[in-house]
Amino acid sequence: MQFTQEHEEIRRNLIKFIDSEINPHVEEWERDGAFPAHALFKKMGDLGFLGINKPTEYGGLGLDYSYQMVMIEALGHINCGGVPMGIGVQTDMGTPALARFGSDELRKEFLAPAIAGEQVVCLGVSEVGAGSDVAGIKTTARKDGDDYVINGGKMWTTNGTQADWMCLLANTGDGPIHQNKSLICVPMKTKGVQIARKLDKLGMRSSDTAQVYLDDVRVPQRYRIGQEGHGFVYQMRQFQEERLWCAFSSLMAFDRHIDETIDYTRQRKAFGQSILDNQVVHFRLAELRTEVELLRSISYRAADLMLQGEDVTMLASMAKLKAGRLAREITDACLQYFGGMGFMNETPISRAYRDSRLASIGGGADEVMLGIISKYMGILPGKRKD
């Protein structure tokens, strides 16, 4: 992956923005259990950060994914996991399908204000009985005249308490489970949409997450993204960008955790020498740094192949799997080397330890990633040709 001056300008400007507009407020937002999405996204939208690879007709910059990749990686400079995740839903999880398959009218109504930061987006896919098993969702959208009438519920909805609209996956037919679903833009103020509760999470404390009920919610059929019955396919493609987001957004954060641990262990003394001088410590940190570079390589390769129009499902799944597992490995090792201070909430590594656990669950659990990889390898039972 070759970066130009324009790539570096995006990286530099976003890091500068993070230092002035995000990191100084992280402690407050963590305590509050949410960051002010509308205020923050409006500032980001004004600077073009929410539509880097979105069409220019709707306010985006129209750049290719390599520029978006640089933006995502720079989000790792934020001193928590919750704020980057909320931004990621806005840019890489809740809007790619709309940008790619939505009608011109629909993109003007929903995509343009999302790119401008005037509206906040959430993604309605997971349900209480259907997390990783997306095909098993129960929410329905039945036709009634020119409308859909939606009934069901969504769980673990990031940005859910603040969102203006939801990119909702629902069953719009009775056919095969991979061909009976559609993606629909649902304004959150529509009658029948109810925020059941704000969820209390282990980590990602600055990100608001909701359980949402939908009771006879009526929206026009023109709010459907693309063709009816193609929602599962659209969402699987949208998942690829979410999984690459997970990998790219972790890289700079991983480097930061290691650097902070090096600084602390260099200063901390035990048994007459710095903790860092113990071979078990500096060898382990060297090993972890190597793992980060390997993740960076596979992630960059996936992005490069995607830019060439190739299917990167297996590589994106590998990158997501590795990012989730490495998140646990790095934060656990670094917290250990912080000793007693690592167990204190005031120490950044303790927050990283809590926040990072989601990476192996959200966007497809590790086990789902392994299943996808096995399928592409031709070794998944029931999928083999032998």
Catalytic positions, written as ranges: 242
The 3-class secondary structure across the chain, one letter per residue, is CCCCHHHHHHHHHHHHHHHHHHHHHHHHHHHHCCCCHHHHHHHHHHCCCCCCCCCHHHCCCCCCHHHHHHHHHHHHHCCCCHHHHHHHHHHHHCCHHHHHHCCHHHHHHHHHHHHHCCCCEEEECCECCECCCHHHCCCEEEEECCEEEEEEEEEEEECCCCCCEEEEEEECCCCCCCCCEEEEEEECCCCCEEEEEECCCCCCCCCCEEEEEEEEEEEEHHHEECCCCEHHHHHHHHHHHHHHHHHHHHHHHHHHHHHHHHHHHHHCEECCEEHHHCHHHHHHHHHHHHHHHHHHHHHHHHHHHHHCCCCCHHHHHHHHHHHHHHHHHHHHHHHHHHHHHHHCCCCHHHHHHHHHHHHHCCCCCHHHHHHHHHHHHCCCCCCCCC
